[in-house]
Chains A and B, each alone.
Chain A
Amino acid sequence: MSTDLTAEGGHGAVPTGPEVPVADQPAVSRRDWPLYEVFVRGKRGLNHVHVGSLHAPDDEMAVHAARDVYTRRNEGVSIWVVQAADITASSPDEKDPMFAPSGDKVYRHPTFYEIPENVPHI
């Protein structure tokens, strides 16, 4: 066959040869809605957990869209949305200075302390 093909897309065969463009300049420059990150509380008693993102024109629409996209089957009882641009995050490459203190302070963990086996409920 002249074109490379693979079933890589999960949904079936698509061409993947070098002639297939991937990420170059945007095809059309157009103002898109901002990107929101979506967090869902699966049920009462659990934390909100990040589930994905979506584009929406404003906060209210983002909540409505999040309900349709991420909770079609009782996946949640509460949704948070926040604009992705408003999130400040640590970076994996800054791993050592950011998270080192928890590594060298072993006395913060209960297993650091030796207690005789005959002491109950501890």
Chain B
Amino acid sequence: MSAPALDRPLDEPLDEAALQARFDATVAAEHRIEPRDWMPEGYRKTLIRQIAQHAHSEIIGMQPEGDWLLAAPSLRRKAILLAKVQDEAGHGLYLYSAAETLGADRADLTDKLIERRQKYSSIFNYPTLTYADVGVIGWLVDGAAICNQVPLCRSSYGPYARAMIRVCKEESFHQRQGYELLMTMMRGTPEQQAMVADAVDRWWWPSLMMFGPPDTDSPNSAQSMAWGIKRHSNDELRQRFVDMTVPQAEVLGVTLPDPDLALDPATGRYRFGAIDWSELQRVISGEGPCNDERIIRRRAARDDNAWVTEAATAYADKHA
């Protein structure tokens, strides 16, 4: 909650060491940190950055699929896609709400996104070239997001964990609608099957990159793990995603674009080929196929709709 503090303390404040000890004990006991608890400044800043980037990803994530709203092949598919894109907006709002409990301001976070001072997930800088991309995003991108997000339901920060629980409930619909869409296309014409294969080829590697750089190159992970903000390493989550997805690809009848992909009989897990990390680096640093387009559209949404915000405020003032 973002309620104001009582202006007079009822007892003497604890010193910083005692506050830190209480914070550490709360995290160690797997209890949740709540908004008005004392917390280390680094914890607060890391959370604001992480939650804001997550919220931005949900909001920007509306764009690639939103491009297909008017071109969905049937009323049923259009209704489904509309519900999914609306969910992404909702997820963004749950997350901005969680960030605001830490003292951040939603309008300010949006401005920082538009000014490219905060980032969003690399995956949304790729274009949706065919309708099969809608299915593959649901299956692979939302599948990868679920792998990332389920452990965050146990994040040490209460409002973030609670937001993630709501998000995860809804992501399940997203993934299943995508997979069902692809199953339908795979039962269709050779052209439709080729569209699915092409979409899988384009989205597979970027989906693996969603989990971030290898553990050997992820210097901030240790602190986030110690704070209970992050629960599993990038490589562990990526491996889980691969293990989960390969059998789904087999049922679907699509070939994942990795000749090195093979079951390791010793571990029961799938080995996969080397990821081109320079691509992730390029996309993150602004040189992906759609970086500019995404930000330009988000800026237009803010600026072109500013009059609505102002009109509603004026109306509220008049009737106050």
Residues of chain A whose beta carbon lies under 8 Å from any beta carbon of chain B: 1-16, 20-23, 26-28, 30-33, 35, 37, 50, 52-55, 57-58, 61, 68-69, 72-73, 84-85, 87-94, 96-98
Contact = CB atoms under 8 A, between A and B. Distances in A.
Contacts of A90: 6
A1 B277 contact: yes
- List 7 A-B pairs, minimum CB-CB distance, nearest first: A12-B210, A12-B121, A7-B212, A27-B111, A11-B57, A57-B312, A87-B3
Looking at chain A's contact residues, is the secondary structure mostly helix, strand, loop, or mixed?
loop
Interface residues of B, number: 88
B313 A23 contact: no
Interface of B: 1-6, 9-11, 13-14, 34, 36-38, 45, 48-50, 53-54, 57-58, 61, 83, 86-87, 90, 93-94, 97-98, 100-101, 103-108, 111-112, 115, 117-123, 144-145, 148-149, 152, 159, 162-164, 167, 170, 209-213, 217-221, 224, 229-230, 234, 237, 277, 280-281, 284-285, 309, 312-313, 315-316, 319-320
Given A12-B210, A28-B111, A57 B313 contact: yes
A22 to B, nearest CB: 5
A1 B213 contact: yes
B119 A15 contact: yes
Contact of A87 (B4, B14, B121): B4
A12 B90 CA distance: 18
B224 A8 contact: yes
A23 B145 CA distance: 25
Contacts of B219: 4
B115 A27 contact: yes
B144 A12 contact: yes
Contact of A89 (B36, B93, B120, B277): B36
A98 B117 contact: no
B123 A55 contact: no
Contact of A13 (B5, B90, B107, B213): B213
A10 B54 contact: yes
B104 A6 contact: no
A7 B237 contact: yes
Given A32-B105, A93-B14, A11 B117 contact: no
A27 B86 contact: no
Contacts of A73: 170
Given A6-B230, A7-B148, A93-B14, 10 more contacts: A1-B217, A8-B49, A10-B57, A12-B210, A14-B284, A35-B100, A88-B3, A92-B37, A93-B11, A94-B9
A9 B58 CA distance: 10
Contact of A11 (B45, B54, B83): B54
A3 B53 contact: no
B288 to A, nearest CB: 12
A54 B34 contact: no
Nearest to B86: A72
A85 B98 CA distance: 17
A98 B280 CA distance: 52
A52 B95 CA distance: 9
Contact of B54 (A4, A5, A9, A15): A9
